Amino acid sequence: MTPVTPPNEATSKMVTLVIQHLAKKLGIGADQVNISDVKPVIWRDAGLGCPKPGVDYIQMETPGFNIRLEAGGQTYNYHTDQTKRFVLCNK
């Protein structure tokens, strides 16, 4: 698999955050998490495209990223904003 290089500082920051989150969640080293895809997106609301049932979100365009990671043969899909918020959204 060819590694995906994040194109700018905001992207790099969010990729690093979600890699650290997944590594901690799985109890593995960050070096065992591979980036499979990073796409910039505009989410329709503050739920980052992965709303929790029964929660109302502010309807506002939220720029962020759809980041797919792989670890242990599984794929993990993260939705983020551009600064610090993210959600593991495996749909």
Give the C-alpha separation, 59 to 42, whole Å: 12
Query: Is residue 3's pLDDT more than 70?
Result: no
DSSP class of 46: T
> What's CA 84's distance to the chain center, in Å?
10
Query: What pLDDT digit, counting tens, does each position of 25-50 carry?
Result: 999 999 999 999 999 999 998 899 99
pTM attached to this predicted model: 0.86
**Domain segments of the chain as ranges:** 9-88
Give the C-alpha separation, 43 to 13, whole Å: 18
